Structure 1
Amino acid sequence: MVMPVLNEAAGIERNLDRLFHLLNDQWQVVVVDGGSTDDTLLKLQAFPVKVISSQAGRARQMNAGANSVSGELIVFLHADTQLPDDFMPQMNKFIHSRCMWGRFDVELDDPRWLFKIISWFINQRSWITGVCTGDQALFLRRELFTRLKGYVDIPLMEDVEFTLRARKVTRPYRITAPVLTSARRWIRHGPVKTVLLMWWLRLAFRFGVSPQRLHSWYYGSSR
């Protein structure tokens, strides 16, 4: 399991406590730090994780983690995302399927109705298009990761770009038991603004706008 982190001290202990209770020592967890300047690395010392360093950027960090983790099944998990209680049996079903990769449905951790609607639309979009994002805890066989040569080193849309290539091999295996992920991005910048921005960025990416320009648009609008 690969977890890219950058300044996640605020919630890393709580999420890792739950993760290791769930995994029951049956998974290797590799945490890839992109240069945290808070107490993330200090708090990681309390957990049986393998910590490696990488240049910042999710694509770079996830590639570094995938090259470091052992095993034939790789799960990419964001630090602010929690796996469902039945993660282990769900992975066992996937292993015995013919699919090469998959993702979970997602639930935002804000109980308000608007966030439930956003979660529903994210899940329906992924089911219809076969395109997924990192918040949905992507998992895949190492054979596919090697075949696709990992994530392209781009500053934004690395997950969308990867799943566009992966779906040409097989459609994603869908697990409807949702992962619970942080709604902080939607709360910080406003749910409607964030949804419209993400739709616009994905559309622009599909029409050939460079990830570098999208990165400047995204972070410029997020200030």
Structure 2
Amino acid sequence: MSKMSIIIPMLNEADHIGHLLTHLLENSSKENIAEIIIADGGSTDKSLDIVSKHKSVKLLNSSKGRAKQMNLGAKNATGSILYFLHADSFPPKDFDTLIINEVKKGNEAGCFRMKFNSNHLWLKLAGQLTRLPWKICRGGDQSQFITATLFNNIGGFNENFTIYEDNDLIAKLYDRKQFVVIQKWLTTSARCYCVNGVWRLQYHYWRIHLKKWMGADAKELNRYYKKYIY
């Protein structure tokens, strides 16, 4: 029987992580979940205290950086399916069964369609676009499931990236024609847009995608992100 390891990179997520853990437990079946792994990148708020109250959760201390944190989680996972999830993204009810069913069909990697917890017109439209199968419509906030075998075959996340690590992995999966979008809604936080401004942040995200398409390496993308968004 296929079992899933849920891997969550965390850094100062006290406002979300407790709600997410409760949500995961209430919307999945125990027999499908091998473990929930939190890979912490050095939280200084109350995140660690909140996680410690969930005795069934495996907490790992990691170097900072989502790619590093998620790779560490994967190394410590026992499930045949890895499910990478941001701390402020809430998957649909029975997400575990939905993912396992896709893997049984031969789909070794994919995500859910996504909506923001915002009524902003652009963010509502952006959410609708995640229904589409195009690579440009993908992102880490949609979560990512992948079989452990395939994850290891493609070398995991590229740790040179401090941003864009999700899209880098997704691009490799699209190159292998191994990606499916499950047509159920995952809900994610619009907090980054609220802090930076919707149009300003979206402009910089488009610039980052364009830079990558034109051949920018991880260092250049990281510098741009830290200058305009970080």
TM-score by length of 2: 0.90
The Cα of 1:179 is off from its aligned counterpart by 0.8
Look up the match of 1:49. Answer: 57
Q: Using the alignment, how far apart are the partners of 1:31 and 1:23 within structure 2? A: 17
Contact (CA 8 Å) 2:130, 2:137: kept in 1 or not?
Answer: no
The Cα of 1:129 is off from its aligned counterpart by 2.6
Q: Using the alignment, how far apart are the partners of 1:89 and 1:40 within structure 2? A: 28
Helix, strand or coil at the partner of 1:192: helix
Helix, strand or coil at the partner of 2:187: strand
TM-score by length of 1: 0.93
Q: Using the alignment, how far apart are the partners of 1:133 and 1:218 within structure 2? A: 16
Letter in 2 for 1:140: I
Look up the match of 1:167. Answer: 174
Helix, strand or coil at the partner of 1:50: strand
User: What is the aligned length?
Assistant: 221
Structure 1: which 5+ runs fail to align?
Answer: none
Letter in 1 for 2:87: A
Q: Using the alignment, how far apart are the partners of 2:136 and 2:15 within structure 1? A: 33
Letter in 2 for 1:105: R
1:73 aligns with 2:78: no
Once the two structures are superposed, what CA deviation does each residue of 1:152-193 show, in whole Å capped at 9, x if it has no partner?
Answer: 112221111111111122241111111100000111111111
The Cα of 1:24 is off from its aligned counterpart by 3.6
1:187 aligns with 2:179: no
Look up the match of 1:22. Answer: 27
Q: Using the alignment, how far apart are the partners of 1:6 and 1:79 within structure 2? A: 9
Look up the match of 1:6. Answer: 11
1:89 aligns with 2:97: yes
The Cα of 1:123 is off from its aligned counterpart by 4.1
Look up the match of 1:209. Answer: 216
Check 1:46–1:24 CA distance in 2 against 1; reply closer, same or farther (3 A cut).
farther
The Cα of 1:130 is off from its aligned counterpart by 6.9
Q: Using the alignment, how far apart are the partners of 2:148 and 2:182 within structure 1? A: 19
Letter in 2 for 1:16: L
Q: Which moved more, 1:141-150 or 1:164-173?
A: 164-173
State the superposition RMSD in angstroms.
1.6
Q: Using the alignment, how far apart are the partners of 2:101 and 2:81 within structure 1? A: 12
Q: Using the alignment, how far apart are the partners of 1:88 and 1:148 within structure 2? A: 23
The Cα of 1:80 is off from its aligned counterpart by 0.3
Look up the match of 2:3. Answer: none
The Cα of 1:122 is off from its aligned counterpart by 4.2
Q: Using the alignment, how far apart are the partners of 1:79 and 1:121 within structure 2? A: 22
Helix, strand or coil at the partner of 1:99: coil
Identity of aligned residues (%): 26
Q: How does 1:119-130 map to 2 (within 5 A)?
A: 119-124=127-132, 127-129=133-135
Q: How does 1:131-142 map to 2 (within 5 A)?
A: 132-142=138-148
The Cα of 1:113 is off from its aligned counterpart by 2.9
Q: Using the alignment, how far apart are the partners of 1:73 and 1:29 within structure 2? A: 12
Structure 2: which 5+ runs fail to align?
Answer: 1-5
The Cα of 1:112 is off from its aligned counterpart by 3.4
The Cα of 1:22 is off from its aligned counterpart by 1.4
